[in-house]
Amino acid sequence: MKKTFSSIDDILRSQQVSSIDDGKPSKKYSIKGGDSFGRLTAIKRVYEVAKSGRNAAWICKCECGNYKVVRESNLAAGMTNSCGCLLKDIDEERRVYDKDSAAAVCAWKNMINRCKPNYVQSENYYKKGITVCSEWECFDVFNSWVDGRNKNRKFSVTRKNKELGFFPQNCSIKIRQQDKYSTTRLGRIWNNMNARCYNKNIKNYALYGGRGVSVCSEWKDSFREFEKWAVANGYSKNLSIDRIDTNGDYSPLNCRWATLETQSNNTRKSIRVLYRDNTYTVKEVARIIGISCARIRSSKKAMMDYGYEIIRKYEEKQQCGR
């Protein structure tokens, strides 16, 4: 079914409506000819042909010149405000800003919205007379002020004097420390390490911060200190941070850079056995002896109590050719 039309005659020829009630206002929704709904203006009340039967609707003319048949209920509820051109204009407006300006657009809109009467915290801004200077009501002017101070990072605009409004001399850019380094892999590792220990809203908090695991003050307060330690202790892109003692904190003495296999062997769930005076996991011993993990796990309880004897006897059998 066609969505928009160039004239009312096109609508009638399309057989999208069954009849026209000229001049008759809507009794249920109190809509009459000439009423405006966003970009639409109601012209004629009609009955739309649909699979469910006849639905009361209006032929509306959009500001762009197109005509559209809109159900009365959608007009009254404010669900339809244009022939579709409004959404296209919004998409076009979004495409105007490139990636370099995305953070500035977000900060600019937040700043403008704070000073509106319907803002959720209007008592802290609008009701106190906090406003945005006239030059910053234009995004291009605001973006030119931001340019050079910040690039490709999320930020917010803060006021130096909280009694005054938003204008260049009273404002500065604030970047959260977590966002400063999030564009690098090492920065994301640092962010995630802190989040696991202190952010109660993430999924794995119970396994880290919930168990009392924390980040040493040296690393928690400074990414640069963490970065220095990482570079000096063998950091590379194929390694990730691993705590030597899984019950200990994140600190220089308890952390190392390890492969995924090493990390998988160093968990609280790993079952360890004594083999040749050294402690190994089941997977490591299986690889050393040359048998499958399933063969060892088949006697898990006995292995946990007498793991050394079980593995030693199996090795002796292999040497005897049994």
Which has more confidence, 121 or 315? 121
Q: Which residues pair with 68 in a beta bridge?
A: 60
Q: What is the pLDDT of residue 251?
A: 92
Measured over the CA atoms of residue 4, residue 9, residue 10 and residue 12, the dihedral's sign is: positive
Q: Decide if pLDDT at 297 tops 90.
A: no
Q: How far apart are the C-alpha atoms of 32 and 11, rounded to whole Å?
A: 20
Q: What is the pLDDT of residues 61-78, one digit of tens each?
A: 898 888 888 888 888 777
193: Cβ–Cβ under 8 A, 6 or more apart, which residues?
215, 219, 241, 250
- The per-residue pLDDT for range 129-178, each reduced to its tens digit, is 888 998 888 888 888 888 755 544 567 788 888 889 999 899 888 765 55
Q: Is the pLDDT of residue 100 over 60?
A: no
pLDDT band at 57 (very low <50, low <70, confident <90, very high): confident
Mean pLDDT, rounded, for 6-35: 71
Residue 305 has pLDDT above 50, yes or no: no
The per-residue pLDDT for range 231-285, each reduced to its tens digit, is 999 898 889 898 888 888 999 999 999 888 777 767 766 666 666 666 677 677 7
Candidate from 35-44, 46-55, 145-154 with smallest mean pLDDT: 145-154
Asked if pLDDT for residue 302 goes beyond 50, the answer is no
Torsion sign (Cα): 223, 214, 209, 280:
positive
Question: 217-235: per-residue pLDDT in tens?
Answer: 888 878 888 989 999 998 9
Residue 251, CA atoms < 13 Å, CB-side half-sphere: 11
DSSP letter at 113 equals H
Sign of the dihedral through C-alpha 85, 90, 96, 98: negative
Confidence of residue 53 (pLDDT cuts 50, 70, 90): low
Give the Cα separation of 236 and 216 in Å (integer): 22
Looking at residue 22, its pLDDT comes to 53
Rounded distance between C-alpha atoms, residue 255 and residue 233, angstroms: 10
Round to the nearest angstrom and report the end-to-end CA distance of the chain. 79
- Note the pLDDT of residue 103: 73
pTM for this one?
0.40
Average pLDDT over residues 300-315: 49
How high is the pLDDT of residue 270?
Answer: 64
* Two tokens, residue 207: 């396994």
Sequence-separated (6 or more) residues with CB below 8 Å from residue 166: 111, 115, 130, 131, 132, 133, 136, 157, 159
